[in-house]
Amino acid sequence: MHRTSAFLLLALIFATGASAKDKDKYQHPGPIYVTPAGEKWAEKTLHKLTLEEKIGQVFMIWCRASFLNVENPEYLQLRDAIQKYHVGSFAMTVHVDGPYLLRSEPYEAAELLNRLQSDSKLPLLFAADFERGVSMRLMGTTVFPHAMAFGGDGKVEDAENFGRITAEESRAIGIHWNFFPDADVNSNPANPIINTRSFGEDPKQVGDLVVAYIKGAHEAGMLTTVKHFPGHGDTATDSHLGVASVNVDRAHLDSIELPPFRQAIAAGVDSVMVAHVTVPALDSDPNHVATISPAIVSDLLEKHFGFKGIVVTDALDMAGLTHLFANNIGRAAVEAFKAGNDLLLIPADLTASYNAMVQAVRSGEISRERLDRSVLKMLKTKASLALEEARLVDLNAISTSVGKPASLAFGQQVADAAVTLVRDNGKVLPLKSSLKSQGTAKAGLPYTTQEETHNQTVAVLFSDDVRTDSGRAFGREFRARVPDAHVIYVDPRIAAGMSDEVLKAVDEAKNVIAAVYVVPTAGKVGNTVAMPDATGALLQQLLDHAAQRTAVIAMGNPYLAADFPKIENYMCTFSNATVSEVAAVKALFGEITIRGHLPVSIPNVAQRGAGIERPIANGGSEHAQ
């Protein structure tokens, strides 16, 4: 009896010890700060590194999350970057196929990041562009609308919760650092790359939402970044494709562009991302985009603003910068580092950039003290996350940390609250669900054509490409309420050929819904926030035929109405995320209270703050929805 009890006790002690040992090897996200031991580790590690290893620590390259066999050439390339170039950090994204973003799964991403951590001599920093939460890259995670929807919602506590949930899910899969929040003030309606990525056009509101996001993210242990310094909101060029310029005077910068960055720095933001934009009021050299401008990075940001954190470039492979170094691409990294940047993000050519940095330090063009200062920042940042103690994540914990029902519901709640009604002629909204009016709806028989159903409602969904997911959630939700609705998907390639079909359906319908999917897309040739000619022409024809019977929903760019004066019913969601699609349909049918207000002004249509509020229709219950 005693022998059995002793054996059980020993087994329990052994199991407890093994469990504690396993627990100790995993990251435990918490407050971000450097302990005395972490400080000592960073200093000691710095002095042990060779010149080549130090230079590797100031580079960050892509890591595309998917399952990769250990002998897969893509995986070997990542491992080579760690072993040959001593790269100290990676930016996680996913593969793309034309217009398709090939989102991966949380477990696949976390397993790959764990493996890379194990391959590295020093702990790695993993960052990501999670502007709309982890769902931008990985499935099964919380879906959030674009930043501008939080401006339409207007609640700082929601932005704080946004930061916290994104941080929880990010840290669970091994991502430590988000390139967000966006502190740009979108004061130019023609801006092709910021638009709905910004919280709005009012510097104070933008700054308040930025600060709230930082607070929430820090509570759950995630590093934050404000971008794109000194402001990318008042531009009309996509810096991925060319040189964008902020042509305003210093007084304008001090009152509009710069205040949100000041607020973020005061709130303890961890890093500032510098834009590839020219700002003549700050640096008159036409060949000095902000990224390579000592006047903007070193003098303004670090000395004048007193920023002590990590200064990171925007991606070095963007045309806004590469056109300046077409004959010697490696020099882009050197000039950016000399300007005051600490971290060199996504070099166009890693080998050329790495070698150029080595040569610049060996020749004395960049002092070793200057290099050490940035490397020590990176090492202390790793220590602030306790990565020197535990660098892996527990894959078994993902199922309890990612995609929580309460988090998913919150993402939908924000999308619902953001919906803003700008125009209402009183003749279309709210729509009536055939399920409500008839008890049970009689949908069209299987395999019947649209002409055989007796629809009175037509929904025309305009997107860049009908092969993408744009409009799919909208269509499903719409048909769930009106099973015989005629839902038509249109893109620029097929718009002209479908015009007769669309206009015939519009002429016969009692109500028409036009949902327009226009959102900023990095590197897309042409104006990404205006409708292409073919779909724009079709929308105009639709309005010519049935403006009084039509409600237009801007599933993204809220400035759309400025191009179509005939719009009589206009609603904005500020996002094309699935939660915004669901919110739009709920609002159309009067199932939620409409209470959003414009965070931007729409030229010749409405001023910032405008918004027609509507209660739930027919005495319904929002909670029940």
Distance in angstroms (rounded) separating the CA atoms of residues 578 and 598: 20
H or E stretch at 311 = strand 310-313
How many other C-beta atoms lie within 10 A of the C-beta of residue 391?
25
Assess contact for 291 and 274: CB atoms under 8 A. Answer: yes
Distance CA 53, CA 46 (A): 9
For residue 194, the 8-state DSSP code is: S
The candidate with the shortest Cα–Cα distance to 291, out of 320, 263, 264, 269, is: 320
Contacts of 254 (CB under 8 A, 6+ apart): none
C-alpha to C-alpha distance for 151 and 162, rounded to whole angstroms: 13
SS3 for 233?
A: coil
CA distance to 46, 81, 338, 355, 372, per residue, from 361 (Å) = 16, 20, 11, 10, 11
218 is annotated as an active-site residue: no
> 360 Cβ partners below 8 Å, 6+ apart?
334, 337, 338, 366
Tokens 């919380």, residue located: 142
Cα distance from N-terminal residue to C-terminal residue, the chain: 61
Give the span between the Cα atoms of 324 and 322, in whole angstroms. Answer: 5
Instruction: For 508-533, give one letter per residue: b (16+ CB within 10 A) or e.
Output: ebebbbbbbbbbbbeebeeebbbbbe
Single-letter code of the amino acid located at 205 = Q
* Lookup result for tokens 């040739």: 525
Number of residues that make up the chain: 625
| Catalytic-role residue among 202, 270, 283, 314 | 314
Query: 445 with 454: CB under 8 angstroms?
Result: no
Out of 86, 232, 240, 486, pick the active-site residue: 240
How far is residue 434's CA from residue 218's CA, in Å, rounded to a whole number?
Answer: 47
Cα separation of 139 and 611, whole Å?
A: 33
299 assigned to active site: no
What distance lies between CA 324 and its chain's CA centroid?
28
| Cα separations in angstroms, 33 against 268, 289, 375, 387 | 11, 33, 17, 12
**Active site members:** 240, 314
